Amino acid sequence: MTNSRRSIAALALLIAAASLAGCSSAQEATRPLAAAATSTSSSAPTKAQAAKIYLSAVGPANKATSKLNDALEAGNLKRIHATAKTCATANRQFLAVLTGTQWPAGTQKHADKLAEDAAVDQSVYTALTTAKTMSEVDDARAALSSGNSQAQLMRVKLGLEAVPAA
């Protein structure tokens, strides 16, 4: 594991540990930590296998983010709190996959950048779960990463179609 990957994995574990308070159960909280801390294979998966791994991890994160965006648009604090908590859980799991997988050639740097973005977003989701006013929500939202370009590059490198911009 390179120093960069170790740093990202350590950052991911630190953020995941710091956000455990937002988890609904201890079992749910430790699952991503265990996945991030261990790598089950010493060689990278094929591009097709990596594409499946990526899609299975990013799907729940994207679904949770979509629901959070709906809650943010509605301006309902109670819904924002609940969907941000779901987002934090899905993002922790996505982050664990990004840092715990040895990606095929040409995709590792994109996975590392996505992991950095997901780590930043994790702190935002945690802040959104406790925001007391819409002003606090807006302040937290300002820190969200715009990792879309890295995600698109990752998809292309894995042989997946790019997702059209909304």
> What average pLDDT does this structure show over 131-138?
95
| Beta carbons of 88 and 126 less than 8 angstroms apart | yes
Number of H helices, E strands in the chain: 7, 0
Q: Torsions phi, psi of 42, nearest 5?
A: -90, -5
pTM of whole model > 0.85?
A: no
Over 80: is that where the pLDDT of 131 sits? yes
pLDDT, tens digit, 9 for 90 and up, residues 16-45: 433 333 333 333 333 443 343 334 446 889
How many CA atoms lie within 13 Å of 57's alpha carbon, on the beta-carbon side? 27
Residue 1 pLDDT more than 90?
A: no
State the virtual CA torsion across 151, 155, 157, 162 in degrees, nearest 10: -100
Averaged pLDDT for residues 138-160: 85
Residue with tokens 């699952």: 31
List pLDDT tens digits, range 62-92: 999 999 999 999 999 999 999 999 999 999 9
